Amino acid sequence: MTTITFPAPRTPQRAETPPPRPARFPRYLSETSLLVGRGLRMIRRVPERLSDVTVQPVMFTLLFLYVFGSAIHVSGLSYQNYLLPGLLGQSLAFGVIGAGVATSTDFSTGVIDRFRSLPVTRMSVISAQVIGQIIEQILGIVIVIGVGLALGWRPDLDPARGLELVGLMLLALFAFTWLGVLAGMLIRSSDAMQGLGFAIMLPLSFLAGTFVPIAGMKLVPRTIAEWDPLSAIVASVRQVCQGTQSTGSLQLQHPVPAMIAWCALIMAVCIPLALRRFRTVNA
């Protein structure tokens, strides 16, 4: 063997006693911030974790702008102004994949079990998961916006619409992150989560008027697209950013209320299920 010395632990020192535990809510806040801090530190250590929300949308931007874009004509809008809001909408929904992968990884490594065996509020563990993921997604979205602006995207925003955009984006991020956390707890293999996430989200995104207008699609894809929740998100972002008015199904005529409704529905279903699953996971 080697020459590494491996002495038995020294005579133990008396452990310092932890301070009396504060009331539940301040405890929840400090535990959540500790756990969010853990997640953020990981971003620095494993930057490739961010590739889903950075490299991949930038690739889509370049691919569609410079490869497919010349064959796509959108009346009344430059392709930059059509594509970038679409990609923003797609990024919001793709948050489900990042959140799902991170959650399934945490659950399969036993780290979450250790947190759950500590006297920390369980809500703080899952809150930190959601908040950390949202911060990651925001980072990715900022990059997409930056690349878009550099390549000629000109959003038509006044302060009120800017605020509306931020509000809508946060709402969608929140909803899709909860969906991802729930999916990650149910699937529990990060590879499977990644594969399944893309297999579901990518077609939904292609059908959502993200890259090409829905109106020009054949009957079957058009019908799906008109009721695809991502269509409402993409149309909302585009409406707020560029002042466009989408037409077609009811949700496309009123994309903003439709997007809010979809997000509310996702939250109403996923939050209680995720909390329940978190309490009883492995039970």
Partner 1 sequence: MTAHDLTVVTNGLTKQFGDLVAADHIDLEVAAGTVVALLGPNGAGKTTVVRMLATLSAPTSGTATVCGHDIVREADAVRSVISLTGQFAALEDNLTARENLVLMARLRGYARGAATRVVNGLIDRFDIGEFRDKLVKALSGGERRRVDLAASLVVQPKLLVLDEPTTGLDPRSRQVVWSTVRDLVDEGVTVLLTTQYLDEADALADTIVLIDHGRTVAAGTPSDLKARIGDQRVDVVAVDGAGLDGLVAALSGRFEVDVVRVRRTISVPAPDEIADLAEVAAAVGASGIPIDEIALRRPTLDDAFLALTGQPIDTEPKGDPENVSGATRKDLAGVTS
The site for partner 1 (CB under 8 A) is made up of 1, 6-19, 21-22, 27, 31, 34-35, 38, 41-42, 45-46, 108-111, 113-120, 186-189, 280-283
Residue 103 Cβ vs partner 1, minimum distance, rounded to whole Å: 13
Q: Which residue lies nearer to partner 1 by CB, 6 or 25?
A: 6
Q: Which residue lies nearer to partner 1 by CB, 45 or 218?
A: 45
Q: CB-hemisphere CA count at 13 Å for 171?
A: 21
Cβ–Cβ under 8 Å, residues 242 and 85: yes
The residue type at 63? L
Q: What is the dihedral of CA 127, 132, 135, 136, to 10 degrees?
A: -140
Residue 69 Cβ vs partner 1, minimum distance, rounded to whole Å: 38
Residue 110 Cβ vs partner 1, minimum distance, rounded to whole Å: 4
Residue 88 tokens read as 């923003």
**CA gap 283, 269 in Å, rounded:** 21
The angle, 0 to 180 degrees and rounded to 10, between the axes of the packed helices 159-187 and 190-206 is: 140
Q: Which residue lies nearer to partner 1 by CB, 15 or 67?
A: 15
Residue 181 Cβ vs partner 1, minimum distance, rounded to whole Å: 16
For the chain, the first-to-last Cα distance in angstroms comes to 43
Q: Which residue lies nearer to partner 1 by CB, 27 or 222?
A: 27
DSSP code for 16:
P
Sign of CA dihedral 205, 209, 212, 215: positive
Residue from 99, 261, 101, 281 nearest 179 by CA: 99
Residue 234 Cβ vs partner 1, minimum distance, rounded to whole Å: 33
Residue 1 Cβ vs partner 1, minimum distance, rounded to whole Å: 8
Q: Which residue lies nearer to partner 1 by CB, 75 or 282?
A: 282
Q: Which residue lies nearer to partner 1 by CB, 16 or 158?
A: 16
